[in-house]
Structure formats: C-alpha cells, structure tokens
Amino acid sequence: MLKTLAGLVAELRAVGIPVSPTEHIDAAAALRHTALEDRPAVRAALATTLVKNPDHLRAFTTVFDLYFAGRRGDLSPSSSAASTVESSSSPPEGEGMLGGMSDGELGEMLYRAIRDRDRVMMRAIAAQLVTRHSNFEPGRRVAGVYYMSRALAAANLSAILDRLSADSSDEGGAYLTQRERDERIAEFRTELQTEIRDRLVADRGPEDVARVLRAPLPEDVDFLSASGKDAAAIREALKPLARKLAARLARRRRTHRDAPLDFRATLRKSLSTGGIPVELVHRKPHPSRPDLIVLADISGSVATFAAFTLQLVFALRTEFARVRTWAFVDGIDEVTELLEHSDNVAEATYRINYGSSKVRLFGGSDYGFALRTFARDWGDEIRSTSTVLILGDARNNYLAPRDESLATVAKRARHLYWLNPEPASRWNTGDSIMDRYAQHCDAVFECRNIRQLTQFIDLLE
C-alpha cells in the first residue's frame, strides 16, 4: 500500500499538483485509520490530505483510479499495486453467463440493467462488451479512446435512452424522469470507462498509463490552444485567483515601502532611556496606488490570451488608482469604458468590432502603427506612477516596428512590461520582433498560462 501511495504522489507531482513531504506522511497516517476495503473512503482520505485546490480534484480522481484500479480488489496494506491490478481482471458476478448470449440478447439485458439500475449487471455487461468489441491490443501505449468508441457503438446507448423515454410515457411502463434516465446512461458509460482503464493498467501498469493520460491542470493550459471546455475551466480558475492577487498587491504596497523616520516620535520614546534614541520610530507608510495602462493586441492569433489577461486585470482594478485599456490590431482605440460596461470580454470584443471603435479584428497586427498612434495621441496620459503593460506576440507582419515610440512610452512610465503568449523559443522567428521591443522594456515575460500569469502579477508594485 505504501508503495502504491508513493507512486500516486509521484504522479500527482508530475501532473503539477503540489504535494509536500508532510502531506505525503499525513496521507499514509490517514490510511491507518481508514477501512481499506472501502474504496470511496480511501479516495476521500487521500483527497483530503493531498489536494488543496478544488480545481485539482478531477486530476486527482483520474490518478487515484489508475493507482487503485482494482474496483473489485482488496486494498489491504499487504496487497501491492500489481496484485490490486490483477484482481481487477477477474470477471464480475454474472459475466460468465453472458458469454453465451448473442449481441441482441446482451443489448436487451443492458436495457433492463440500466432501467433497474442494476450496477452489478451493468458492470458485467460492460466487461463483456469490451471483450467482444473493443479490439483490445495488449502492449499498445494508448489512452483507450478507440476502445471506448467501439464499446459505445456496440452498446447503442441512444437506442436504450429512446426506449426508456418511451416506457416513461406509457402508463404501464416504468416511469423515469429525464434526469434519472441521463444519470443511468452516464453510470453505464462510467462502467465502460472503468473497465477499459482497469485492463490498460493490468496490461501496462499504472505508471505507464498515467503518462499517457496526463492532462494539464487549468493553470497550465496554454491560452492559445485552449478548447472551449478548457477556456471555461480557465475562467473559473481566474475568479479566486483575482481575489488572492488583489490582496497580495495591497499587502505588498503597505509593507514594501521604506517609511521615513519620525524624528519627534523617536525623541519622545527616548525619554524612557535618558534621551538616548535606542528605538527608532518610523512614520506609517501611505504609498499611493499606481496607475495601470494596458495595450492589448486582440487579433485572432492572440485573442484568447488577451481575453483571459484582461479579465484578470480588470478584476484587480481596485488595487490601482486607475486602469485604462487600449485595444489594437491594425488600429488602436481606448476601450476602458466599453470593457467596464460589458458583462464579459466576449461581449466587449463584439462591441469593439461592430461598434464605433477604430479597431477591426479581421486585420493583421501592426504594432508599429499602434505604438506610434498611442504615443502621439495618448502619451500625456502616462504618469511617473504608471505601469504600462503590453499584451501581444510582437508579430508585426513585416511592417515598420516604430520602436522609437515604445522608447518614448518607456521614458514616461515608471515600469514597462511585455507579456508574450508564445513560447520564448519562437520569439524572433518569422515576423516576430520581440528583441526589438524588449530593449525598451523593464522585463519581457513568457505568459502562456495562468501559472505564468500569476508569477508575473506577483512582481507588480
């Protein structure tokens, strides 16, 4: 059991879930007080001791199911991961009698099992379908998607769902609500997934299967390649992150300042030591909040990155004296009020493109024109307390860079930072002129995901 736990912890760390040595020890101690034959209890004990972020629970569950893959096996301390895996390959109750049935008879049995919510029979039928139709090939380093699709095709769950719906509408049929029908179909899909996963683990071991199934955590998903599902997860992860970072910025602003000496208070305090100023007294710091000026490339190639970054920046605006935003592609315009009065960034983008803004999303990025126009028309808005933040990939479509305009902006601002969503290895390739602009910036950061964006926000003053 301890060996299996060590493997699980190692995989969690490889995925990106932080697990300290103390938490590893706590997990082992928790198992001593857990009924090891109760698999849900084991999962709950390990999740409680090893997972600190609710966004990581899904990844933890996947890893747990691999390292404790024996659904019907013994999880006692004497059983190793290998013996647990081997036990999962034994046929569940009812599978033997199903072997002689035709596919039609098996389909009828599956319909009844789902209708009656017979989990034992669903498990047995899932094993039979995988055996017959998945075309399982031992030794192949796959995640099992192909096996799953073949088993689902054989199960024909859409036809079963139609039958359940028809039965629920008949007076003599077993009535099930839509939610109940969907839940039972989902339960059988889970049984299929678990059966395939157990066979993969039994064939190749949990470590190898885990490497194939690894998926990035929400904070590690690349902005530029995020799917619709990933984008939703990123937006959810940004909400608590914004509050956390806002509190951190406020704390740093209060504490990371050199307060001047309060001479009078120091003399008064020295009276207790005969006029010797043993303890110096400083005035309480009252640092002014900085300005934040954002220039965001919202062209198609980096639009997703800009949307997430602007979402976080505006969530932090309470920690700045003012936040003003300019969007650009081949034109540039201030969109501060537009963003503040939009429910979300997608709505703001639509209004930018089809409203009165000078920015058009279907053009190619022209950083040189945008920088020159900003410096000329809005340069006076930059103060000595301003932090200027530029979001974009610095791909200028081989147009004039106009980096002298960026130099003008840098001289007026307190800080100038550039966030680039592309890997640093791709900078200065093709039409990228990142180095041309980097020489005028305080720092340039690769910012491909939430984790890197968080690291940058930590540096803001």
Whole-angstrom CA distances from 25 to 19, 46, 72, 83, 277 are: 10, 11, 27, 23, 50
Reading the block at residue 430, the tokens are 């093709």
Residue 302, pLDDT above cutoff 90: no
Q: Mean pLDDT score of the chain, rounded to an integer?
A: 81
Instruction: Give which of 141, 158, 145, 159 is closest to 192, Cα–Cα.
Output: 145
**How far apart are the C-alpha atoms of 128 and 115, rounded to whole Å?**
19
3-state secondary structure (DSSP) of residue 147: helix
What percentage of the chain reaches a pLDDT higher than 70? 82
* pLDDT in the model for residue 257: 52
Residues facing residue 261 across a β-bridge: 282
Residue 236 pLDDT: 77
Q: What is the DSSP string of 96-149?
A: HHHTTS-HHHHHHHHHHHHHHT-HHHHHHHHHHHHHHHS---TT----SHHHHH
Region of 332 (left: φ > 0; alpha: ψ -120 to 50; beta: rest) is beta
Whether residue 317 contacts residue 406, with contact meaning beta carbons closer than 8 Å, is answered with no
Contact 314, 286 (CB under 8 A): no
Nearest to 212 by CA among 233, 193, 191, 197: 197
pLDDT of residue 73: 43
The two three-digit tokens of residue 180, written as one number: 């109940």
* Statement: residue 231 has pLDDT above 80: no
- Dihedral sign of CA atoms 176, 178, 183, 184 in order: positive
- CB-count burial class (<10 Å; 0-12, 13-18, 19+) for 381: middle
pLDDT (average), residues 418-423: 93
Helices (H) and strands (E) in the chain, counts: 21, 6
What residue spans define the domains of the chain?
Answer: 2-88, 95-215, 228-256+288-457
Residue whose pair of structure tokens reads 């959810």 in the numeric block: 236
pLDDT tier, 76 (very low <50, low <70, confident <90, very high otherwise): very low
Least confident range of 58-67, 124-133, 238-247, 373-382: 238-247
pLDDT band at 399; cut points 50, 70, 90: very high
Q: Which residues contact 443 (CB under 8 A, 6 or more apart)?
A: 417, 418, 459
The two three-digit tokens of residue 123, written as one number: 């498990």
**Neighbouring-strand partners of residue 324:** 293
Q: Per-residue pLDDT averaged across 228-243, rounded? A: 75
Q: What is the mean pLDDT of residues 2-19?
A: 88
Residue 348: which of 356, 340, 30 has the closest Cα? 340
Q: Cα separation of 199 and 190, whole Å? A: 14
Per-residue confidence at 248, pLDDT binned at 50, 70, 90?
Answer: low
| pLDDT range class, residue 146, cuts 50, 70, 90 | confident
User: What are the CA-CA distances from residue 347 to residues 295, 350, 361, 450 (Å)?
Assistant: 19, 5, 14, 22
In this predicted structure, what is the pLDDT of residue 70? 57
Query: What percent of the chain clears pLDDT 90, i.e. is strictly above it?
Result: 24
pLDDT, one tens digit per residue, over 373-382 is 999 999 999 9
Q: What is the side-by-side order of every strand in the sheet holding 291-297?
A: 332-334, 322-328, 291-297, 386-391, 415-420, 443-446
Tokens 């180095």 found at: 435
Q: Is a pLDDT exceeding 60 seen at residue 79? A: no
Dist. CA 323–CA 460, nearest whole Å: 14
**Per-residue pLDDT tens digits for 42-51:** 999 999 999 9
| CATH number given to 228-256+288-457 | 3.40.50.410
Q: Helices 2-15 and 39-50: crossing angle, nearest 10°?
A: 50
Using alpha carbons, list the distances in angstroms from residue 148 to 88, 297, 383.
18, 41, 60
pLDDT of 363 above 70: no
Per-residue model confidence (pLDDT) at position 30: 92
Tokens of 239: 């909400």
